[in-house]
């Protein structure tokens, strides 16, 4: 585990973007695992700038996102497909056919989960996985549980996650109660993992995840076992 302390969110975003950019430069055909939420927005802004300045080229990059709300159409302004298009995909020279998220409108959830796992395997796994961390320690939408679930699966979102995400919707009632999420196996098999976290409200859970017991009640704690984990944070942990 390597922890990089920075002064603020902006520096965290720049350093995270620099690491992702280095991955793309070293391997222009990189498979990037991507995250959504407020944490990576600054990182994506920096990547857009690097692309526009000719530093990095997304034309041969493949992306695989962690998760998607179940029941939301890709055009819904709170779907994660919409988020990724808005903050990154539509602003860089990436082939949209190489950008992947779970299908939140899939009629057969089990088949969709199998398809997503097969997709990850077919591209040779993830070279670099970008992660944030939820207030309850979730990564992707792998919520606190009695076990680590290895494969892509549909999950019922916890009350804390629903409450945290309600700020993005008009009301709490509009927040989807389920999501399709990449499982722990694909995350842990990523060749590199990059975790970013900021905000004092994340300080205690980040400590638990990085230095506490490894337990599915704090899903991010399993990252302690990853062979190449980099954490970038302005938090004093």
Given 51, 67, 103, 165, which residue is catalytic? 67
88 within 8 A of 44, measured Cβ to Cβ: yes
Neighbours of 104 (CB within 10 A): 23
DSSP letter assigned to residue 5? E
Residue 130's H or E segment, with its range, is: strand 128-131
Given 87, 103, 117, 138, which residue is catalytic? 138
C-beta pairs of 116-120 under 8 Å, 24+ apart in sequence: 116/152, 116/180, 116/182, 117/151, 117/152, 117/183, 117/186, 119/64, 120/64, 120/182, 120/186
Residue 131's H or E segment, with its range, is: strand 128-131
Residue 184's H or E segment, with its range, is: helix 184-189
159 belongs to the catalytic site: no
138 belongs to the catalytic site: yes
Which tokens hold the place of 136? Answer: 């309850």
Given 51, 103, 143, 165, which residue is catalytic? 143
Nearest Cα to 86, choosing from 20, 41, 131, 132?
41
Distance of CA 19 to the CA centre of its chain: 15
76 belongs to the catalytic site: no
Residues that are catalytic: 67, 136, 138, 143
């Amino acid at each position: 585990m390597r922890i990089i302390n920075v002064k603020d969110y902006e520096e965290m975003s720049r350093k995270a973007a620099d690491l992702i950019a280095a991955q793309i430069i070293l391997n222009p055909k990189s498979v990037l695992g991507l995250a959504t939420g407020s944490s990576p927005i600054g990182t994506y802004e920096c990547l857009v700038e690097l692309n526009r300045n000719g530093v990095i080229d997304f034309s041969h990059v493949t992306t695989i996102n962690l998760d998607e709300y179940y029941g939301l159409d890709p055009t819904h302004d709170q779907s994660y497909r919409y988020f990724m298009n808005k903050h990154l995909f539509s602003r860089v020279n990436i082939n949209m056919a190489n950008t992947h998220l779970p299908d939140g409108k899939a009629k057969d959830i089990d088949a969709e989960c199998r398809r997503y796992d097969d997709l990850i395997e077919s591209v040779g796994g993830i070279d670099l996985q970008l992660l944030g961390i939820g207030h309850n320690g979730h990564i992707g939408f792998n919520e606190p549980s009695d076990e680590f679930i290895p494969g892509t699966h549909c999950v019922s979102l916890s009350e804390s996650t629903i409450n945290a995400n309600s700020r993005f919707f008009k009301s709490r009632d509009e927040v989807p109660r389920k999501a399709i999420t990449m499982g722990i196996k694909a995350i842990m098999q990523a060749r590199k993992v990059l975790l970013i976290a900021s905000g004092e409200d994340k300080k205690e859970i980040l400590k638990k995840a990085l230095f506490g017991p490894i337990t599915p009640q704090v899903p991010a704690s399993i990252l302690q076992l990853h062979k190449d984990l980099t954490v970038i944070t302005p938090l004093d942990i």
